[in-house]
């Protein structure tokens, strides 16, 4: 049997780390077993669902390379024959109501007329009496006359599921193993709201069934929904899918990952200059590992190695330091041409005129490729190749305000003007010869030259940097830096 899995985000905000991890695991599962990965939009929260969120979720999934085989598409179309793939459209097509009415007919669901205020009172009472906070089924056995009466009062009913009173609901979770809930702890949950809209628990089961989902892979914050959903499957006489609940993601301090820990959405990480390959690799390791604890994966390897057996039930810790390290690893693996293509928007954003360099931008950006951790860091490190150097005060004080610096800068300027070829090795040889001939230590010359040309005391390998600046620019800056040296 072909497996069918789905990612079913509620579009009430951007795609978060946890959601992206769920999407990724579903995607990897489908790839590994030749299954189908479906994207379903669960917009049953009428107040909080927005089109911008849908768009942003599409963008983040596409950016991470998590192409879905079926589902709602960014251009408004749909791919696959189980549509519509957006729950509001499914509601409009009358898909949910039909099943709710069938359950009412079978005595497995009922209309409930309790008002929010009444429900609130019940909750308060339960709290006072230290009983579990759950709906006690007041409307389970209303007579036709009582219903008419409520309707005459203008009350619009919700439809609730009639939960069995005794027994247990259990399943064999593919990650958490045996999970069991006593039915008396479950409650008659709302399936259809007063607005006529289905709730998550109801729409999810109807859709997972109609879309022939074989494996429900989702965050373990949904574990408490699963017994409700299983009871619904049973009441409808439907086959229950396999469930795999992914471990919770905690911040480095051991509390649930949230805004307090910094960026939480995929879009924010993208802006910071993380690569999609990094996000994919890093998120794969949040709650999953290979037997040999592999950290870095080549393209296609995750798809090959992923397995629910490698998923842990204990919480995963989100470690931003490791994420940055990993991004550096991926940046290093790229060609400088690939890197510059990705860096270009950041350079433009920083107002850098990339046409103003003496050598191709890729050569410049590639100079410190081994050091970058984030694309966002690149502009500040390369800016001096494209515009006048901005002098770091500390570097000027420490390196340029020294005896002999004036003499050194002037001497080096003459040396550079006299070189027949302005190439790295020639520049190096001539600079060293100048130091030696004039009784300076190499560093005594290199440091002021570096600061004069770049404004900074650290940076790319010195003589290549000088070659890439070009002779005219180098000479101009040496001359200018003499003013700072005095
Ligand atoms: N819409 C739900 C959520 O975003 C999906 C849960 C599920 O996968 O069943 O949390």
181 falls in which pLDDT band (50, 70, 90)? very high
Final residue belonging to a domain, choices 216, 246, 276: 246
Give pLDDT, residue 418: 97
What proportion of the chain, given as a percentage, has pLDDT over 70? Answer: 100
| Among candidate residues 212, 246, 280, the one where a domain is terminated | 246
- The residue-averaged pLDDT of 275-283 equals 98
Asked if the structure places residue 233 within a domain, the reply is yes
pTM metric for this prediction? 0.93
For the CA of 221, the closest atom of ligand 1 is: 10
pLDDT of residue 307: 95
| Ligand 1 binding pocket includes 225 (Cβ within 6 Å) | no
Ligand 1 atom with the shortest distance to the CA of 7: 8
Q: Order of strands across the sheet with 109-112?
A: 109-112, 158-161, 190-192
Ligand 1 lined by 222 (C-beta under 6 Å):
yes
Residue 204, in any domain of the structure: yes
User: Would you say residue 16 lies in a domain?
Assistant: no
Contact 273, 376 (CB under 8 A): yes
Is residue 2 a part of any domain in this protein? no
pLDDT in the model for residue 326:
98
Average pLDDT over residues 455-462: 96
Cβ count near 280 (within 10 Å): 21
Residue 457 lies in a domain: yes
Q: Give residue 394's pLDDT band: very low, low, confident or very high (50, 70, 90).
A: very high
pLDDT digits (tens, 9 = 90+) for 259-270: 888 889 999 999
Give the bridge partners for 216, in sequence order: 243
CATH number (domain holding residue 118) = 3.40.50.620
Axis crossing angle, helix 405-418 with helix 471-485, rounded to the nearest 10: 170
| Residues 297, 280: Cα–Cα separation, whole Å | 10
Q: Supply the CATH number for residue 435's domain.
A: 1.10.10.350
Ligand 1 pocket test, pick from 42, 44, 71 with the greatest ligand atom count within 8 Å of Cβ, gives: 42
Which of 195, 217, 246 delimits the end of a domain?
Answer: 246
Beta carbons of 17 and 57 less than 8 angstroms apart: no
Verify whether ligand 1 is closer than 6 Å to residue 9 (CB atom). yes
Give me the pLDDT at residue 262, please: 85
Q: What is the pLDDT of residue 88?
A: 97
pLDDT of residue 388: 95
- Backbone φ and ψ for 467, nearest 5 degrees, come out as -60, -45
- Give the helix ranges, DSSP H, for 64-128: 87-92, 95-105, 116-128
Q: Is residue 254 part of a domain?
A: no
DSSP 197: P
pLDDT score for 225: 98
Q: Is 42 in the pocket of ligand 1 (CB under 6 A)?
A: yes
Task: Check residue 27 and give its pLDDT.
Answer: 98
Q: What's the pLDDT score for residue 150?
A: 96
* Residues of the chain above pLDDT 90, percent: 93
**Tens digit of pLDDT for each residue in 182-233?**
999 999 999 999 999 999 999 999 999 999 999 999 999 999 999 999 999 9
- Token code pair at residue 313: 């039930």
Phi, psi (deg, nearest 5) at residue 386: -110, -15
Nearest-angstrom CA–CA distance, 203 and 87: 7
Give me 367's structure tokens. Answer: 């100079």
Q: Please count the structural domains in the chain.
A: 2
> What residues act catalytically?
259
Structural domain includes residue 405: yes
Average pLDDT of every residue of the chain: 96
Of residues 448, 451, 452, the one with CA closest to residue 475: 452
Give 305 or 127, the one with higher predicted confidence. 305
In a domain, 213, yes or no: yes
Residue 213: closest CA among 74, 334, 314, 80: 80
Confidence (pLDDT) at 432: 98
The whole domain housing 187 covers 95-246
SS3 351: coil
Mean pLDDT of 292-305: 97
> How confident is the model over 99-131, as pLDDT tens digits?
999 999 999 999 999 999 999 999 999 889 988
Q: Give the model's pLDDT for residue 1.
A: 64
* pLDDT band (50, 70, 90) for residue 258: confident
pLDDT mean over 308-334: 97
**31 touches 303 (CB < 8 A):** yes
Contacts 24+ apart (CB under 8 A), 112-121: 112/138, 112/139, 112/157, 112/158, 112/159, 112/160, 112/188, 112/190, 113/139, 113/142, 113/147, 113/150, 113/151, 113/155, 113/157, 114/138, 114/139, 115/155
Q: Which two tokens stand for residue 23?
A: 């999407």
- Is the per-residue pLDDT at 153 higher than 70? yes
């Amino acid at each position: 049997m072909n497996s069918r899995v789905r990612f079913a985000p509620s579009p009430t905000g951007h795609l978060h780390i946890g959601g992206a991890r769920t999407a990724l695991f579903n995607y990897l599962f489908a790839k590994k077993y030749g299954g189908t990965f479906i994207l379903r939009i669960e917009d049953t929260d009428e107040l909080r669902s927005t089109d911008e969120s849908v768009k942003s979720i599409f963008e983040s999934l596409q950016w991470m390379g998590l192409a879905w085989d079926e589902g709602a598409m960014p251009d408004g179309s749909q791919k696959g024959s189980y549509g519509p793939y957006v729950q509001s459209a499914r509601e409009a097509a009358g898909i949910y109501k039909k099943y709710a009415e069938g359950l009412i007919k079978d005595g497995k669901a009922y209309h409930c007329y309790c008002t929010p205020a009444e429900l609130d009172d019940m909750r308060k009472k339960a709290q006072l009496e230290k009983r579990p906070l759950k709906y006690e089924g007041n409307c389970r056995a209303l007579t036709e006359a009582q219903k008419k009466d409520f309707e005459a009062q203008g009350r619009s009913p919700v439809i609730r599921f009639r939960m069995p009173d005794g027994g247990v609901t259990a399943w064999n979770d593919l990650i958490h193993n045996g999970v069991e809930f006593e039915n008396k702890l479950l409650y008659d949950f709302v399936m259809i709201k007063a607005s006529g809209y289905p709730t998550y628990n109801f729409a999810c089961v109807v859709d997972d069934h109609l879309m022939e989902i074989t494996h429900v892979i989702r965050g373990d914050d949904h574990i408490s929904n699963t017994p409700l959903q299983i009871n619904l499957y049973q009441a409808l006489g439907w086959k229950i899918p396999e469930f795999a609940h992914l471990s919770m993601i905690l911040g480095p301090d051991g509390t649930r990952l949230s805004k307090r820990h910094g960026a939480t959405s995929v879009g924010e990480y993208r802006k910071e200059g993380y690569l999609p390959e990094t996000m994919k690799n890093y998120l794969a390791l949040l709650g999953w590992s290979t037997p040999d604890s592999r950290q870095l994966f080549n393209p296609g390897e995750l798809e090959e190695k992923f397995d629910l057996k490698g998923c842990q039930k204990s919480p995963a810790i989100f470690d931003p330091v490791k994420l940055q390290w990993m991004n550096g690893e991926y940046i290093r693996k790229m060609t400088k041409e690939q890197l510059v293509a990705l860096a270009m928007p950041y350079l433009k954003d920083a107002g850098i005129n990339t046409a103003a360099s003496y050598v191709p931008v890729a050569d410049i950006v590639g100079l410190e490729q081994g050091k970058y951790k984030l694309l966002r860091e690149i502009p500040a490190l390369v800016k001096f190749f494209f515009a006048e150097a901005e002098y770091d005060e500390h570097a000027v004080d420490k390196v340029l305000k020294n005896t002999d610096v004036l003499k050194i800068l002037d001497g080096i300027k003459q040396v550079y003007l006299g070189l027949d070829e302005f190439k790295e090795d020639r520049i190096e040889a001539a600079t060293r010869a100048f130091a030696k001939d004039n009784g300076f230590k190499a560093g005594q010359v290199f440091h002021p030259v570096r600061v004069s040309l770049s404004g900074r005391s650290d940076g790319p390998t010195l003589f290549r940097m000088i070659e890439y600046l070009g002779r005219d620019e180098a000479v101009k800056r040496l001359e200018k830096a003499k003013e700072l040296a005095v």
